[in-house]
């Protein structure tokens, strides 16, 4: 299928592109931080699912977005460049993410230093995971009410970059081959690399895997390890879904959060060893 975007010749640097999957389903990729939804408005996104012209990403990151954790900070991407290539019937998009944004917790107008921030987060997370049957209550508590009561809010602030991660999306409908290269990252104190694959939790509400697990809505959990060979997320009618497989040397996790206008994401995310120089995986898009 043809590539449509600002420019359509091979190897062109572009700011936006749309890649058809079917008559009604496409993938969209931006070089800036669009669609700028909610509190991750200033962060870069990956491939966004679009159904009949409507973007289904919500507050998700899209497919194939890297973040990195160092000893003292976690880095996100606020800037990137991308190029588009055509290879026969395949479209190849290459997006180079600069890791140059960090989360900051604010108490009113004052920034909370990282040590106190982590203590607060670890305390709430510890309660949350210890009392699993209270998860619905803790989800609301930790993500909204606690913040309101304490006057806490998170923002993303520019930081000195720790390097770049180049992600190649080879799109051969209905399969996306994702390859991320980590050789341009600062290695000192690097602890973990994550590849996020997220869309909107308002649209995608069902999880299932090869072990026969089927979960809906809040029962999917916020970030749970997947032991199955493959995992799939879909809307309730299973009209549209995306599936990934377990990859040797990486941890696969499922997650879903939805909370008023604050959170709206569902994903199948990989945690990758910092010793790796690249990481490959596949996403299968299904439409019935």
Residue 149 lies in a domain: no
- HSE, CB side, 13 Å, CA atoms: give it for residue 31: 17
pLDDT of the residue at 145: 43
Say if residue 132's pLDDT is above 50: no
Residue 123 lies in a domain: no
Residue 127 lies in a domain: no
Q: Answer for the pair 262, 39: CB distance below 8 angstroms, yes or no.
A: yes
pTM listed for this prediction: 0.84
Q: How many domains does the structure of the chain reveal?
A: 1
Rounded Cα distance between 8 and 2, Å, is: 9
**Distances from the Cα of 279 to the Cα of 45, 219, 232, 270, angstroms:** 18, 29, 20, 10
Domain that holds residue 166: 4-105+159-287
What tens digit of pLDDT does each residue of 96-125 get? 999 999 987 655 454 545 544 454 445 444
Residue 247 lies in a domain: yes
Asked whether the CA dihedral 47, 49, 55, 61 is positive or negative, the reply is: negative
Residue 117 lies in a domain: no
Residue 136 lies in a domain: no
CATH classification of the domain holding 277: 2.70.98
Q: Is 221 helix (H, G, I), strand (E, B) or coil?
A: coil
Rounded Cα distance between 185 and 166, Å, is: 10
Higher pLDDT, 189 or 136: 189
Residue 112 lies in a domain: no
Residue 234 lies in a domain: yes
């Amino acid at each position: 299928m043809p590539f449509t975007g600002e420019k359509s010749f091979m190897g062109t640097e572009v700011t936006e592109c749309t890649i058809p999957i079917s008559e009604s389903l496409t993938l969209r990729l931006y070089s800036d931080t669009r669609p700028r939804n909610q509190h991750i408005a200033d962060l870069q996104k990956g491939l966004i699912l679009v159904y009949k012209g409507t973007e289904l990403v919500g507050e998700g990151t899209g497919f194939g977005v890297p973040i990195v954790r160092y000893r003292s900070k976690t880095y996100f991407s606020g800037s990137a460049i991308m190029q588009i290539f055509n290879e026969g019937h395949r479209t190849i998009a290459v997006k180079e993410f600069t890791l140059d944004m960090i989360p900051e917790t604010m108490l009113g107008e004052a920034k909370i230093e990282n040590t106190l921030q982590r203590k607060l987060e670890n305390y709430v997370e510890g309660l949350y995971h210890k009392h699993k049957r209270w998860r619905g209550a803790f989800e609301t508590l930790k993500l909204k009410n606690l913040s309101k009561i304490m006057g806490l809010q998170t923002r993303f602030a520019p930081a000195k970059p720790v390097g770049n991660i180049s992600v190649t999306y080879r799109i051969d409908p209905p399969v996306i081959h994702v390859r991320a290269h980590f050789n341009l990252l600062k290695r000192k104190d690097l602890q973990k690399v994550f590849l996020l694959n997220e869309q909107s939790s308002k649209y995608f509400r069902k999880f299932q895997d090869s072990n026969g697990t089927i979960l809906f809505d809040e029962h999917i959990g916020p970030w749970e390890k997947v032991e199955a060979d493959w995992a799939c997320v879909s809307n309730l009618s299973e009209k549209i879904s995306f599936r990934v497989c377990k990859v040797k040397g990486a941890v696969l996790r499922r997650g879903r959060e939805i909370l008023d206008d604050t959170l709206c994401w569902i994903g199948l995310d990989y945690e990758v060893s910092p010793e790796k120089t690249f990481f490959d995986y596949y996403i299968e898009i299904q439409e019935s």
